[in-house]
Amino acid sequence: MARTPLDELRKRAQGALSLDIAFIGVVNGLFSALHELGRARVDDLAAKTGMDAGYLQRWCDAAYAFGWLERDGEVFVLSDDGAAMRPEAEDSGMALAIGAVLSAHMAERAAGLMRSGERPGEKVLAERETILPWFGAMLEHNFRRSFEEKVLPAVPVFAEMNERQGLVVDLGCGNGWYLRALLGRCHSLRGLGLDGFDENIRQAERLAQKEALADRLHFAQGDIHRFELPEPADLIAMNRALHHVWEERGRLFERLHGELRPGGALVIWEPAWPEDTGILREPAYRTMAFQNLSEHIQGNHFLHPEEIAEALTNAGFAATVHPVGTDAVVVGRRS
């Protein structure tokens, strides 16, 4: 019997449910605990994690149903897919689970806010207590490899600043993944990450220590709106952050220009909203289209690389655009 469009929709819906179950396992450490235990009954998993046994029984049944676990009677063990969901696993799939539940949250908020036109801002990201602590890890899993393999080779300013043993400042650094990736490749650079959330600073410091970068990499409280630098910077980075403060770009760029040493650079990495929105049906752009809806809730919208370059030029920078897939890195040099 031929499959119908409704059959395909049911298949997609089951995929979403599968990631919902995986999300529960990720944020509560269940995949990692089962990996350490090897084989475990529900009571063993409850003792290991401190979670309620009743909830764990239902989760294990659901995780088995969707293939995250295998079972032998009442004993559960990770499947290969379940092992890949561990946050510490190489090429972990945890970001897919976090992103799926975050997207569902944003879709629910958009559905209600569409009726009033209200745009409550970035606080919507903190409305679900189980999502926010994982936001930085999700971004790292989504973008660190792309940064190391595509952005770094395409943008020569990083190697130049490494030659001058410069200071790199990341505004809104999250868990510090960008600076850890950069200093891991550019061994003469020093880094300072600024963020407004204490939890992000704690995560960043712990991970820098783990990657043996704590002697060159430091983190402090501060954000794009309020920060003080201990010395002029050679490079200031804004990663997927400019669209959050676009309405304040004139005043912001003027200040950042003054915080740079002569010859320093402001490096902006942003999704490149296409001029021709007919391209949004292509798989690489579909996620961007949904994210732009989420950004509208937060009072933002994605930008064209050319308008970023124009704003930098107007602020006294010499601007160049480096396309990287569906993103763009726009470099503004202080003369």
Q: In this predicted structure, what is the pLDDT of residue 1?
A: 61
**CATH fold for domain 5-93:** Arc Repressor Mutant, subunit A (1.10.10)
Q: In this predicted structure, what is the pLDDT of residue 228?
A: 86
Q: In this predicted structure, what is the pLDDT of residue 293?
A: 97
Same fold, 5-93 and 132-333: no
What is the pTM assigned to this prediction?
A: 0.91
Backbone angles phi, psi at 279, to 5 degrees: -75, -10
Express each pLDDT in 3-18 by its tens digit: 787 888 888 889 999 9
Express each pLDDT in 12-55 by its tens digit: 889 999 999 999 999 999 999 999 999 999 999 999 999 999 99
Please state at what angle helix 94-113 crosses helix 5-27, rounded to 10 degrees: 110
- Domain boundaries along the sequence of the chain: 5-93, 132-333
132-333: CATH architecture: 3-Layer(aba) Sandwich (3.40)
Q: In this predicted structure, what is the pLDDT of residue 201?
A: 93
